[in-house]
Amino acid sequence: MTTRFNTFLDRLTAYKAGPPLSSVAERYGLDRVILLGANECPHGPFPEVVAELQAALGELNRYPSGDCEELRPALAARLGITDDRLVFGNGSCEILMLLGEALLGPGEHMVFAEPSFVVYRSIALARQADVTAVPLRGFAHDIGAMKAALRPDTRLVVVCEPNNPTGTYVGPAALRDLLETASPDTIVVLDEAYTEYVTRPDHLDTIPWLHEFENLVILRTFSKIYGLAGMRVGYGICHPRVAEALDKLRQPYNVNTLAQVAARASLRYPERVRGRRDEVARERARVVAELESLGVPTVPSEANFVMVGVEGLSIPGREVPQALVERGIVTRSGWGVGCPGWIRATIGTAEENGLFLETLREIGITEDRI
């Protein structure tokens, strides 16, 4: 093929999702596969949400609301903001991409941590921007180093809180320090995809900060704790001028009808969201405690996943993810996300977590580790 593509594409790698359940089961002759590799909620949408989705199926011949006109006021009321502070996307990833398009260009500067969510680097490279990827310190954002990396031409800074893939949490004091240091001309993004899972006593809702920092953008999603990953609906909370700029760039009808219906309906059940958070916290603590009793290290996490050390087991660490897959447990290899020597395991149901622990013990725990 002789077509010439933009040269920056040579620096990009397509995002590789994990294998679907059906292909894993067929390949290895399994009756059951447990998906613990994509940080999904093990529970589906609330039953009432499913009923509303079914009722909406007959209207799919029409385009969705281009402005999320029913979801927008419902979410604004829940968050305690005016609805002109909201921008919606096909997942929060789309909003990240829109921010890159709106703010970055050749020679302009972006700061983020590494390892963190892979999309951050991609949006910078796609706009041919300069990048400073600040290494994590102790698996967590090094806010001091990120502050030091700021330049007069820094247009965008992103902090993933809690961080993906490590699950670590830096807390509101450090985040405020960064916001107070950054120039008002620099957009600071707090990617809070996992914020509903945080149980730390010092955890604060960052939305009130929007009144102090006009350059703050907060990203959240319905994909995780609401069990709507298959719907792909996320949102940004920001200054109205930022929302207006991003709305100019998004494609028409970017959030589909069923996603809007499901997200709006899900907002009616905050007590169930808290129940899911508490369930994850209990299971996360149990998984960590059992791993530590086996001599297997973990990284302190405030998300719905845990980083698990797999070096020094009875099989080489690089082989652990594949050995787990062959036994029906799909996790995320740390070698592919900048954390060699580790795997990332989503917190599933109690039964799923038990099977993960049992399988890990079978394939890799020697007596001298116990």
Q: What is the pLDDT of residue 366?
A: 53
pTM for this predicted structure: 0.94
Q: What does each of the 370 residues of the chain score in pLDDT, given as a tens digit?
A: 777 777 777 776 777 777 777 788 788 788 889 999 999 999 999 999 999 999 999 999 999 999 999 999 999 999 999 999 999 999 999 999 999 999 999 989 999 999 999 999 999 999 999 999 999 999 999 999 999 999 999 999 999 999 999 999 999 999 999 999 999 999 999 999 999 999 999 999 999 999 999 999 999 999 999 999 999 999 999 999 999 999 999 999 999 999 999 999 999 999 999 999 999 999 999 999 999 999 999 999 999 999 999 998 989 999 999 999 999 999 999 999 999 999 999 999 999 999 999 999 998 765 444 4
| 341 class by beta-carbon count within 10 Å (0-12 exposed, 13-18 middle, 19+ buried) | middle
Please count the residues of the chain.
370
Domain residue spans in the chain? 7-44+271-369, 47-268
Q: Which two tokens stand for residue 336?
A: 């592919």
C-beta of residue 126 within 8 angstroms of C-beta of residue 100: yes
Q: Left, alpha or beta for 336 (phi > 0: left; psi -120 to 50: alpha)?
A: alpha
Q: Cα–Cα distance between 104 and 38 in angstroms, integer?
A: 29
Is the separation of the CB atoms in 203 and 12 below 8 Å?
no
CATH classification (class only), 47-268? alpha beta
Neighbours of 336 (CB within 10 A): 14
Q: Strand pairing of 234-237 and 86-89?
A: antiparallel
Distance CA 71, CA 257 (A): 10
Query: Which pLDDT belongs to residue 17?
Result: 72
- Preceding omega of 135 cis (within 30 degrees of 0): no
State phi, psi for 135 to the nearest 5 degrees.
-60, 145
Cα angle: 145, vertex 151, 152; to 5 degrees: 155
Single-letter amino acid code for the residue at 249: L
CATH class of segment(s) 7-44+271-369 = alpha beta
Residue 321 CA to residue 91 CA, distance in Å, equals: 27
pLDDT of residue 370: 46
Q: Which two tokens stand for residue 233?
A: 């609906």
Helix axes 270-293, 350-364, angle to 10 degrees: 20
